[in-house]
Amino acid sequence: MLVGLFWFLLFFGGGIYLAYNRVNLFSSTVAVAAAVFAYTLFGSGHPLWVIFLWLPVAVMIALNFEEFRREKLTKPALAIYRTMLPSMSDTEREALEAGNVWWDGELFSGMPDWERLMSFPAPVLSDEEQAFMDGPCEELCRMIDDWDIAHNRADMPEEVWAFIKKHKFFAMIIPKQYGGLEFSAYANAMVISRLASRSATVSSTVGVPNSLGPAELLLHYGTEEQKQRWLPGLASGDEVPCFALTSPQAGSDAAALIDNGVVCRGTFNGEEIVGIRLNWNKRYITLAPIATVLGLAFKLYDPDHLIGDEDEYGITAALIPTDMPGIEIGRRHYPLTVPFQNGPTSGKDVFVPLDYIIGGKEMAGKGWKMLVELLSVGRAITLPSSAAGGGQAAAWATGAYAQLRKQFGLPIAKFDGVGEALSRVAGYSYVMNAAVSVTSGAIDQGEKPAVPSAILKYHCTELGRKVGNDAMDVHGGKAIMMGPRNYLGRGYMATPIAITVEGANILTRSLIIFGQGAIRCHPFVLRELQAAQNDDEQRGLFEFDQALFSHIGYAISNLARSFFLALTHAKFSKVPLNTPTSRYYQNINRYSAAFALASDFAMLTLGGKLKIKELLSARLGDVLSSMYLASTVLKHFENQGRRSADLPLVEWSVRTLMYEAQEQLHSFLRNFPNRAVAFFLRCFIFPRGRTYSAPSDELSMKVVELITQSGESRDRLCAQAYTTLEAGNPLGQLQEALLLSEQLAPLQKKLRQAFKEGLINSEYVGYQIEEAARAEIITAEEADAMRNFHEKVEHLMGVDDFKPEELFRHPAASKSLAQPAKKAAARKKSPARKKTASKKQAD
């Protein structure tokens, strides 16, 4: 019996060990052959059993002869593989090739190298960037009156526009040689977060020129002449940019746009040249109503072959001054009462030179590639940092409000139902902060993380929406009555805007995150795909062979890893650091192997059909996203110096994310169409069932304490929110009241005790103070302190009311909404604009 057990453990345990550690084929062959040889000599099994054991050894030995393997196995496999390849358009291929693979690739491997993630330095602001945050950024926040902007003006005041331009808020990504600030991606994100905590209108206005737009396109693809022509004006604010991609016919399917440009001869500045005659109709374009330079995406045609042999070049990007004949601007959209400048733009028979194409005519047809490459970075900054900034403001305000607002004689933070919402507000804000900080830091180290950018865009904006919902619920009626004292309502109304723009979230989740990641991040799929499409048959066969058998070994390893890690709760999995969060690294290791295994079998059994199985793809994308976000939480905790006080936030965040990964894997298996494969996978992924638990109530209450009490954890969580104490900033006033509440806690307790003992009779605190003062339960000085505190709280709990005529928008706002063209024209007529503007064409 014991001898039999020994041999079983040798073969089974040894096989698991080899696969778990991804020992190469040659070494595995030697190890397995040695074990079988030992059994042949010393074992007591039946001779047929011995022969059976030698069969896999023979197969493994044969596989080590690569030439034999290629001819007998790989060549037929390649022929079958080519019949299974899904169709792929040029736009899909260019999207797949955008950016690079970073930590997402490690998670796809099933065996993440944590040292790689931990080797990235913690992002920090330079002295210059910190000075900007403490100076111009702080001052701009002080100038903002969001109620005035949104309700009275439907635009930012001229002094705010002037301040933004003077201090080069539009030029954070522009190099200093062109007059810009040349800030890091991290600084860009922190500035946007700070502004978003104050006003969605201002953060959107500043964010767009520093994201996908003319400046970024010029920096990466423009000719030096184009850079010298436009970048100084964009840096100074004399030029206001916009970029027009979306049209009524092409929204999420941006590649289907019908806006066009035809290469032809025409007259420009008095001479006949070869140029482009453009016709377009765009909508949802931020800054379009006031833009002086328009970045335009269109399809380029050359029917007369004036620039080459192609009839159609495809999507092309050009920069066009908006004062040219045929261009219509001046109208505005009105996005959910958040009045950042956004509107349609159209052009009819607008004739421009070929050198208006960004990068010159050599870049004709390269517009889509340009756009998706830049989206691989930009989507990780502007919208995610806006959501993070809004989340910080909501966490800061809601934590204080829940402690100050009392019902049934207790702060509402003491009620578990409210506490559940508060824990989500804090936890989701921590996740957003971590994702933005870690990913922007990676960008500053040279990474162009395409898939993480999509993860951040989708999940940060969705988490921002969840935080907004919970914050509104906690505030109740306070948050639904609009007015100058409502500090949540406008941000709540803005959340669907972030959900919608730069790739609708439904599309991003259903198609992009896993759809792009499955090919881009998988260690071998892209190599197999490229080998199968190689025109050199022999070279393609060799490359396919190498990728295929590496892929097979990878799949076998993930079977072993997934099973062993699930069986042992990953307790023996290697972790990079001696840290209080070690178990969470191990949890991610487990789900990384399970995810890699599920992904492989999904692609193997469904092939090209997986592309249209959007719900399955979305669930796998959710698993990848949960692991990525949990990784950033752990890295963020390390970056901030392992503050033990923050551990409840870290644990709540990772537990929530990994529980989501577990449930999405379960849902994926439950809905997988091949039930036999689903059963097989479940045996390796959940051999002990679903064992991971969501955060406990006890842990959630610890998180509640962190945001409802003043302290370093609350400060770190909301570090970028604008919390300066001043008359126009409710976030600063809430903090002041929270601190007073903590200082006056003994007096509040004294009043409660006096009421309980019948020494004072009123249930209303305002009356209790007076009764207690008359009864000399508290001194006159204590009564004054309590009155001052009570008045501040009453003001903060208050809401606005209006005369009927005041509910209608101020006439100035109607004028602003109806006539933005006058403002744009005034800006174009400025001396700086006249100096740099192109001459009007003579047609």
Q: Which residues are catalytic?
A: 502
The CA-based angle 614-617-618, given to 5 degrees, is: 85
Measured between alpha carbons, how far is 537 from 527 in angstroms, rounded to an integer? 15
The pairing of beta strand 271-286 with beta strand 342-353: antiparallel
Residues 6+ apart with CB under 8 A from 219: 173, 174, 175, 227, 231
Measured between alpha carbons, how far is 526 from 605 in angstroms, rounded to an integer? 17
DSSP assigned state of 290: G
Measured between alpha carbons, how far is 803 from 784 in angstroms, rounded to an integer? 34
Sign, Cα dihedral of 394, 399, 405, 406: positive
Residue entry with tokens 């040889």:
37
**C-beta separation of 762 from 768 below 8 A:** yes
Secondary structure (3-state) at 357: strand
Query: Which of 180, 286, 188, 185 minimizes the C-alpha distance to 233?
Result: 180
Which residues pair with residue 285 across a beta bridge? 343
For the chain, what is the radius of gyration of the CA atoms? Answer: 31
**C-beta separation of 389 from 437 below 8 A:** no
- DSSP count for the chain of H helices, then E strands: 40, 9
Stretch (H or E) spanning 788: helix 780-797
Burial class (CB in 10 A: 0-12, 13-18, 19+), 312: exposed
Measured between alpha carbons, how far is 843 from 840 in angstroms, rounded to an integer? 9
Sign, Cα dihedral of 119, 122, 127, 129: positive
**C-beta separation of 584 from 573 below 8 A:** no
Q: Which two tokens stand for residue 489?
A: 């309502």
Percent helix, strand, coil in the chain (nearest 5)? 65, 10, 25
Query: Which of 242, 241, 237 minimizes the C-alpha distance to 161?
Result: 237
Which residues pair with residue 268 across a beta bridge? 271
